[in-house]
Amino acid sequence: MKFNIIAAMCTTNRGIGYENRLPWPTLPNEYRYFMDLTAKTSSPDRKCVNIRGRVTWQCASQEGRSRDVFNIVISRNPSDELRTDKYIHKIVSTLDEALKYVETSLQDQVETVWIFGGQYVYTDAVSHPSCDRLYITLVHGHHTADTFFPSFEDSFDEDLSTDLDRSLQKENNVTYRYKVYTLSRVRMPQK
Ligand SMILES: NC(=O)c1ccc[n+]([C@@H]2O[C@H](COP(=O)([O-])OP(=O)(O)OC[C@H]3O[C@@H](n4cnc5c(N)ncnc54)[C@H](OP(=O)(O)O)[C@@H]3O)[C@@H](O)[C@H]2O)c1
């Protein structure tokens, strides 16, 4: 099953996280864009799947823990707290296990599968054959980071056909821009 990746990345150092939070000040509009996109469906009978690593799940605010989506968390050694979390639909130990579970158990109920990070999960996801689109917010300026988004520019091209506000955004003294990328034609599987 195809999936999309969503991430916000610093343009100067590719940073995505610092000390288990985002490296930049709070960006409420960007957060809303992120949450809306990853929960939105065209069919009322279907939901989105959100797949995240254990650390990203634990960093998420309560507000970010919706039961309107299928939350799948990747952890090789889940704690009791994680196992009993009522917002988690399923815990798996790899990205492939998550995708297999969606295909076999949720397919008729799912519209879009989103990969939410963090670094571990993004690294597996960008080189995965089922990766379809990258929704990347490019955050300008220097922001100290300890987790980073993997290189993807050699394999993906910017997709200008997607309906998106491409203008420069600014809030909390931070400027950023929304971008979408699709797998480059040279890497597309031949029919
Ligand atoms: N800017 C953004 O868009 C964005 C989005 C998401 C997250 N973040 C940031 O990213 C940071 C967290 O990222 P992270 O890389 O530290 O953690 P992470 O990827 O969220 O979670 C790592 C954990 O997930 C499990 N896991 C997932 N894939 C694995 C693999 N291939 N190999 C081994 N374990 C795997 C392990 O859990 P167990 O240890 O339980 O086995 C591992 O410890 C935070 O600072 C967060 O704010 C930023």
Mean pLDDT of each 10-residue bin along the chain, 191 residues long: 96 97 96 93 96 94 79 97 96 98 96 96 96 97 98 95 94 98 73 52
Task: Find all residues with CB under 8 Å of 87, minimum gap 6, and list them.
Answer: 65, 66, 67, 71
Question: Is there a contact between 30 and 94 (Cβ–Cβ < 8 Å)?
Answer: no
Give the whole-angstrom CA distance, residue 133 versus residue 5.
6
Residue 67 pLDDT: 75
Residue 4 pLDDT: 98
* Ligand 1 mutation target, pool 71, 72, 76, 136, most atoms within 8 A of CB: 76
Q: CATH number of the domain at 3-183, please?
A: 3.40.430.10
Is residue 92 within 6 Å of ligand 1 at its C-beta?
A: no
Residue 17 pLDDT: 97
Structure tokens at 48: 């989105």
